[in-house]
Amino acid sequence: MPRLSRILVPVEFSPRCRGAVQYAEALCCHFHCEIVLLHVVIPPMANFSSFEAMAYSSAGDLAREMAEQRTADLEAFSCTGPGDAVVRRVVLEGDPAQTIVEFAASENCDLIVMPTHGYGPFRRFLLGSVTAKVLHDAICPVWTGPHMERAPDYSSVHFQNIVCAIDLGLHSREVLGWAAGFAREFGARLSIVHAIPPSATRSSGFHFDPDWRTQLTTTAAERICLLRREMEIEAPVVIEAGEPPLVVTTAAEAASADLLVIGRGSTLHAHGHLPTNAYAIVRQSTCPVATI
């Protein structure tokens, strides 16, 4: 993995978002990189016949007041940055997902750290909407998880066990390389997990010969062994048959993983959507997930 020089944290002021900042601060402490806090103001669709809108002469006035208030909120949002780290705070107006993705690309961000969903008027941060769109469209890795509000103080965040899930597709080398690089940076133990989905061993209720499952396992083990040898990576391998989200998250929990690394780049469906497995893994994981 390349060294991180700029981490983007979209801020929508929820406890989960504060947890995302804790992870960003922990990474910043190691890489001595810049943290950018970004809040996106959704353009107001004011109904000027309403009582609340009567105080504003135009939608522009309302937008300016919203931007000023969110700028003040963002300045007050806690993120000191470890040591001499630079923390930049930016407020923009637009569609949240599109703005986050475009900003990350234009600013050459190396990582986006964000919760799966927020509270209150920002419920669009539910996985399947803003976060899902960012996962789908961002060109840099995205670090997320459903339990960000449980993150400890950045000084107590440690990375000792990293689990990398690969599907042996074309993107697997990049995913494994990122996970291995991250593990080396932190002196962490790396494990590899591969799931053989039920669809590979049965069809329309018909189960294939048991030898077929054995052959699939053997073939997967050989391909992973070759990949590890080519990349000079030493790591134990877990290969299990079953629903990929369950296999992957169970393996991560058994390994007491501090981070689960999965792929998304080459697994896009023809329809342009991320596979259901990627969403399910993020939702079910008990630790943060880095999607590459």
What residue segments make up the domains of the chain, in order of their start? 6-150, 158-291
What pTM value is reported for the model?
0.87
Tens digits of pLDDT across the chain (292 residues): 778 999 999 999 988 899 999 999 999 999 999 999 999 998 876 444 455 555 555 666 777 888 899 999 999 998 877 777 899 999 999 999 999 999 999 999 999 999 987 444 444 444 558 888 999 999 999 999 888 888 888 989 999 999 999 999 989 999 999 999 999 999 999 999 999 988 776 655 556 667 888 899 999 999 999 999 999 999 999 999 999 999 999 999 999 999 999 998 544 433 344 567 888 899 899 999 999 9
The CATH architecture one would assign to domain 6-150 is 3-Layer(aba) Sandwich (3.40)
5-20 burial, b at 16+ Cβ within 10 Å, e below that, comes to: ebbbbbbbbbebbbbb
Alpha helices in the chain (DSSP H): 15-31, 59-76, 96-106, 130-137, 172-186, 210-231, 244-254, 276-284
- A 10 A CB-CB count for 260 gives 28
Instruction: Look at residues 121, 122, 128, 168 and name the one whose alpha carbon lies nearest to residue 283.
Output: 128
Q: Give 158-291's CATH code, choosing from 3.90.226.10, 3.40.50.620, 1.20.1730.10, 3.40.50.1370.
A: 3.40.50.620
Q: Does this chain's domain 6-150 share its CATH topology with 158-291?
A: yes
d(CA 292, CA 273): 15
Q: How far is CA 202 from the centre of its chain?
A: 32
